[in-house]
Structure 1
Amino acid sequence: MTEEASTPTVRDATLDVLRRLGMTTVFSNPSHTEMKLFEYWPEDEFRFVMGLQEAAVVGMADGYAQATGEPALVLINGGPGLGNAMGSVYTAAAAKTPMVILGGQQARKMLLGDPFLVAKDATQLPKPYIKWAGEPGRPQDVPALIAQAYQIAKQAPQGPVFVAVPEDDWVRPADPEPVRIPEVRAAVVPDPRALERIAEALNGAERPGIVAGGPVDAQGARGDLIALAEKLNARVWGAPVWARGAFPENHPLFAGVLPPIPELINERLGAQHDVVVVLGGPAFTLFTAWDLFSTAPADLDRTPRPTLTSGVRFLHVTDSPQDAAATLADESFVAPPGAVVRGLVELVEQRERVALTPVREPVPVPEPSTPLTQAYLFQVLSEVLPEDAALFEELPIARADFHEQIPLGPDNGYFATASGALGFPFAGAVGYALARPDRRAVVVVGEGSAQYTLHALWTAAQHNLPVTFVIPDNSGYLSLKYYLQDQKAWQKGWDLSGVDMAQLARGFGVRGERVESPDGLRETLHGALTADGPVLVDVVVADPGLFRL
């Protein structure tokens, strides 16, 4: 209850609901439409995490939710503020990150006009990139609506939800009856017949294969997946757009990350397997088709929809009915992937552990040079990286070098953007570190991608978080450059010469270092990984050339 009011307000009732739900960390960049919530703010009970721009705020909440497995709470303006954040909302939706976004709306009595900062059609703006959106019919409905939003965000398939709250609702009298919050438990378990069918297919396969998606790790089944792969002696591939590590990359059964191109998926899997089980995530996330790399004049499009090779039986496990409906696999099972993995460990037959023919070429050891190569940077980073570091990566043109030179182990976390929107890792690592200050979060992001949520540096500094930002700086959006046949024709569209990331970091209160030669690289990285607080290392690297898949 507030100091001035004898009757509990909607604000009082909402804070009580948030306490009961455990949502006491608030990510925000508030405008005046949210300020009434902060009157008499109980700072001793709630942690307020300020961000300087809404895209960074939602990105930080995304990382926090992925670290905790619980819905994160975001409070921003529901009109232009939400508009600023939509790229990060898009990514959170693709990652199926549970999140409750409260969007400030103008006072109810002003909505007959067109007031400043209004959220027109408030629940429509974030669609279709959220699970659900609502707005209260009455002020006293706000707390119950937030409790409902929390439950919707948390249930599989998880995702962000949105509630629009008029600013005057916070100070209206609350419903005299306390909000009833039901205990909603995830009680969905795999159909035993489905488990038996999948196990039968794997046991009958001559060359079984597994494609691992992020939900396996999110549902706590990474160790079970290792046991399943070892029992089957089966290769494990990372799902295309490998947004969350579900299998250690330094394991001998790891075959690499599949490219998001149907022709290359078929080439890799068709040559190695007769049965493939896709565990978690879509089957498959695609980015482009091979024919679109051609610079020849295009013919009338008579090409069929992408398909998977007919010589392999594909089975797909996902907790998303939508992903199941859109699958390219032969059979799809709607079930929690983590529970399916645990169930299959008991049902598959133990196979002889024999070495499989390598499917990846030996990785050459890069040599030092000036300017540095990105491969050399990543190789040195791998030598000083903490064994339990959580890696956040966004390298549209350098992913192959990253995974080759930094084979992440079973205790490493790995997170990347789940969509084509840039900016998640830079902000996500900050949110992750707020939830897991016991682990070093390491961000490996190009200087182009860093610009999208650069403001997260300030939040990292304010909370003195254990985050190391490593920038392979090639002075350009080179993922765009190499789409061009004449790479000079559109230089203004990809050239980022003159961006000094170390100077920018210092401006936000983060220690910034710039490295331009091999001399001192190892020592600088080691110092950045063991520092008390955040550090950014801007490493000048050569143009890596055409990206590899």
Structure 2
Amino acid sequence: MTEATGHRTVRDETLDVLRRLGLTTIFSNPSHTEMKLFEAWPDDEFRFVMGLQEASVVGMADGYAQATGEPALVIINGGPGLANAMGSVYTAASAKTPMVILGGQQARKMLLGDPFLIAKDATQLPKPYIKWAAEPARPQDVPATIAQAYRIAKQAPQGPVFVAVPEDDFVRPADPHPVRIPTVEDATVPSPAALERIAAALDGAQRPGLIAGGPVDAQGARGALVELAEKLNARVWGAPVWNRGAFPEDHPLFAGVLPPIPELINERLSAQHDVVVVLGGPAFTLFTSWDLFSTAPADLDRTPRPTLSEDVTFLHVTDDPQAAAATLADAAFIARPGDVVRALVPLVGRRERTPLAPVREPVPVPEATTPLTQAYLFHLLSKELPETAVLFEELPIARADFHEQIPLGAGNGYFATASGALGFPFAGAVGYALARPDRRAVVVVGEGSAQYTLHSLWTAAQHNLPVTFVIPDNAGYLSLKYYLQDQKSWEKGYDLSGVDMAQLARGFGVRGERVETPEGLQAALRESLTADGPVLLDVVVADPGLFRL
């Protein structure tokens, strides 16, 4: 309340709305334009999580929201601060993470000029990577706008939203009528006719297959998907660009993660299935097509757009109408994938559990060598990994070794970037650990990707979080190296031999250790996974070679 009048201010009403919505953990790197909100801050009611750079702040909020299943709150400057964070906003949008971003704006009376820290066209900057954006027309509308933003972030398909708030709005008088916050519950259910059609297609298939997308896990249906797959005796594939573990990788029905290349998707699925049901996510996220790997001169492009094999019937379940409209499948059904999985379990018939022919080659056990190989590192990490550990991975070039050597079990969580933007796992693990300090978060990220949200180490140290950062350090930016290795001028762009991740970690207050020998690796891993607080292991490994799909 203002001391002069005793009346409630917009700031008072805003804090009350945040309390009522449960937005009491705040991820922030505040600038001048948010200071009026933070004056006389109620420390006993709100938890303030400081990040040293806005990309890390949004990435931490992303991990926190994925851990809780509820929207996270971010407060940053709405101009340069939001611009710094846009790579992380892009990733959160791709992951369908519910998030409310409050962006500080200059005072209303300053907006006619070009003041310092202004957010020009504030609602346009984060588009199209957010669901909704608003800048309240009146100061007293700020609390109600935040409440509306929260509801939109939670609606399917979930995602980040943005509200720009002029600095002086917070000190203006509040609307005399408190904001009314209705309960908005998801009352939609999958169509019985759609469920019957999907169940009939699976029952009628000779070789049914399932593709697991991140929403299955996000909507709590991971166990139901295991039950459905076992009842159908159907292989389960991870969706391309697998950003969340929706099926245990150590399960005998798990076939691996599909590559984001249409020719390879068709090759693998048409050889194994006559009916495939895609559960969650788009059908499909694609990275490139096979012809673009060629360095030969290109002719006029007469190739068709990406298509799926005509020998397979594809059914696609998604809660995103845009993904349904863009689907490559034969039919799409707009519904929550988790609800569909649970509803299908009693509808499909039980098949005989006969062993299916393996679709993956046996993985050899790597040997201890000097220098270490990343395969050996991941092999030892798998041996030491706690049963309830949650892994965050970003290895754009080396992902095959990771999944081969670390078949994550039913008790393990798995998260990766949902977009091509780098940096989510390093920050996301910190946010996850803030929400779930009872589980060890393990980050496996190359030394190149780690640079994007390196500042998250400081936050992990400040909160003494149970996070183990494992860096397979090959001293190179491999995506550049293997695309441009024949161009000498690019060598300085992919040579990272001077980066000492252990020393960088210590600079942020995190215990850092550099590991170079097989003898020291197992002990270092074991100690780091049970340590009180965060630890970073900079493990020197040999160049893993060209990536495998």
Give yes or no for TM over 0.5. yes
Partner Cα separation in structure 1 for residue 386 and residue 513 of structure 2: 20
Give deviations 1:118-154, integer Å, cap 9, x for gaps.
Answer: 0000000000000000011100000000000000000
Other-structure match for 2:426: 426
Matches within 5 A, 1:57-76: 57-76=57-76
Matches within 5 A, 1:20-31: 20-31=20-31
Other-structure match for 1:189: 189
Partner Cα separation in structure 2 for residue 192 and residue 488 of structure 1: 61
Other-structure match for 2:374: 374
Other-structure match for 2:317: 317
Is residue 359 from structure 1 mapped to residue 354 from structure 2 by the alignment?
no
Matches within 5 A, 1:71-220: 71-220=71-220
Other-structure match for 1:390: 390
Partner Cα separation in structure 2 for residue 490 and residue 132 of structure 1: 40
Partner Cα separation in structure 1 for residue 188 and residue 535 of structure 2: 43
Matches within 5 A, 1:517-536: 517-536=517-536
- Aligned 8 A contact 2:485 2:491 in 1: no
Look up the SS of the partner of 1:346 in the other structure.
coil
Look up the SS of the partner of 2:220 in the other structure.
coil
Partner Cα separation in structure 2 for residue 541 and residue 487 of structure 1: 24
TM-score (norm 1): 0.99
- Aligned 8 A contact 2:235 2:253 in 1: yes
Give deviations 1:156-175, integer Å, cap 9, x for gaps.
Answer: 00000000000000000000
1:4, distance to aligned residue in structure 2 (A) = 6.4
- Aligned 8 A contact 1:372 1:542 in 2: yes
- Aligned 8 A contact 1:97 1:160 in 2: yes
1:3, distance to aligned residue in structure 2 (A) = 5.9
Partner Cα separation in structure 2 for residue 65 and residue 218 of structure 1: 10
1:395, distance to aligned residue in structure 2 (A) = 0.2
Look up the SS of the partner of 2:162 in the other structure.
strand
Residues 388 and 487 from structure 1, CA distance in 2 versus in 1: closer, same or farther, beyond 3 angstroms? farther
Partner Cα separation in structure 2 for residue 354 and residue 540 of structure 1: 43
- Aligned 8 A contact 1:443 1:470 in 2: yes
1:474, distance to aligned residue in structure 2 (A) = 0.6
1:464, distance to aligned residue in structure 2 (A) = 0.3
Other-structure match for 1:254: 254
Other-structure match for 1:296: 296
Unpaired runs of 5+ in structure 2? Answer: none
What letter is aligned with 1:16?
A: D
- Aligned 8 A contact 1:221 1:338 in 2: yes
Partner Cα separation in structure 1 for residue 350 and residue 292 of structure 2: 43
Other-structure match for 2:238: 238
Partner Cα separation in structure 1 for residue 73 and residue 508 of structure 2: 24
Partner Cα separation in structure 1 for residue 68 and residue 286 of structure 2: 29
Look up the SS of the partner of 1:481 in the other structure.
helix
- Aligned 8 A contact 1:295 1:485 in 2: no
TM-score (norm 2): 0.99
Is residue 328 from structure 1 mapped to residue 328 from structure 2 by the alignment?
yes
Partner Cα separation in structure 2 for residue 493 and residue 285 of structure 1: 28
Look up the SS of the partner of 2:140 in the other structure.
helix
- Aligned 8 A contact 1:79 1:119 in 2: yes
- Aligned 8 A contact 1:240 1:284 in 2: yes
Look up the SS of the partner of 2:259 in the other structure.
coil
What letter is aligned with 2:436?
A: R
1:414, distance to aligned residue in structure 2 (A) = 0.2
- Aligned 8 A contact 2:72 2:99 in 1: yes
Partner Cα separation in structure 2 for residue 542 and residue 397 of structure 1: 13
Look up the SS of the partner of 1:272 in the other structure.
coil
Residues 435 and 5 from structure 1, CA distance in 2 versus in 1: closer, same or farther, beyond 3 angstroms? farther
Is residue 451 from structure 1 mapped to residue 458 from structure 2 by the alignment?
no
What letter is aligned with 1:107?
A: A
Partner Cα separation in structure 1 for residue 347 and residue 364 of structure 2: 40
Look up the SS of the partner of 2:345 in the other structure.
helix
With 492-501 and 522-531 compared, the bigger mean Cα shift is at 492-501
Give deviations 1:282-339, integer Å, cap 9, x for gaps.
Answer: 0000000001111111111111100001000000000000000000000000000000
Partner Cα separation in structure 1 for residue 511 and residue 423 of structure 2: 20
Matches within 5 A, 1:329-348: 329-348=329-348
Give deviations 1:200-247, integer Å, cap 9, x for gaps.
Answer: 000000000000000000000000000000000000000000000000
Partner Cα separation in structure 1 for residue 72 and residue 428 of structure 2: 12
Other-structure match for 1:405: 405
What letter is aligned with 1:509?
A: G
Is residue 436 from structure 1 mapped to residue 421 from structure 2 by the alignment?
no
Partner Cα separation in structure 1 for residue 2 and residue 344 of structure 2: 54
Look up the SS of the partner of 2:271 in the other structure.
helix
1:492, distance to aligned residue in structure 2 (A) = 1.7
Give deviations 1:59-98, integer Å, cap 9, x for gaps.
Answer: 0000000000000000000000000000000000000000
With 157-166 and 483-492 compared, the bigger mean Cα shift is at 483-492
Look up the SS of the partner of 1:122 in the other structure.
coil
Is residue 8 from structure 1 mapped to residue 11 from structure 2 by the alignment?
no
Give deviations 1:469-526, integer Å, cap 9, x for gaps.
Answer: 0000011110221123616452122111200000000000000010011111011011
What letter is aligned with 1:492?
A: K
Partner Cα separation in structure 1 for residue 225 and residue 307 of structure 2: 27
With 131-140 and 488-497 compared, the bigger mean Cα shift is at 488-497
- Aligned 8 A contact 1:481 1:487 in 2: no
1:460, distance to aligned residue in structure 2 (A) = 0.2
- Aligned 8 A contact 2:190 2:335 in 1: yes
Partner Cα separation in structure 2 for residue 490 and residue 142 of structure 1: 50
Look up the SS of the partner of 1:393 in the other structure.
strand
Give deviations 1:326-355, integer Å, cap 9, x for gaps.
Answer: 000000000000000000001000000000
Give deviations 1:436-458, integer Å, cap 9, x for gaps.
Answer: 00000000000000000000000
With 479-488 and 277-286 compared, the bigger mean Cα shift is at 479-488
What letter is aligned with 1:286?
A: L
- Aligned 8 A contact 1:426 1:453 in 2: yes
Other-structure match for 1:274: 274
Look up the SS of the partner of 1:276 in the other structure.
strand
Partner Cα separation in structure 1 for residue 351 and residue 531 of structure 2: 46
1:254, distance to aligned residue in structure 2 (A) = 0.1
Other-structure match for 2:506: 506
Other-structure match for 2:495: 495
Partner Cα separation in structure 1 for residue 544 and residue 297 of structure 2: 28
Partner Cα separation in structure 1 for residue 523 and residue 436 of structure 2: 25
Give deviations 1:343-395, integer Å, cap 9, x for gaps.
Answer: 00010000000000000000000001111100000000000000000000000
Unpaired runs of 5+ in structure 1? Answer: none
Aligned residues with identical type, % of pairs? 85
Partner Cα separation in structure 2 for residue 371 and residue 152 of structure 1: 51
Partner Cα separation in structure 2 for residue 4 and residue 266 of structure 1: 71
What letter is aligned with 2:431?
A: G
What letter is aligned with 2:284?
A: F
What letter is aligned with 2:333?
A: F
What letter is aligned with 1:224?
A: A
- Aligned 8 A contact 2:90 2:419 in 1: yes
What letter is aligned with 1:261?
A: I
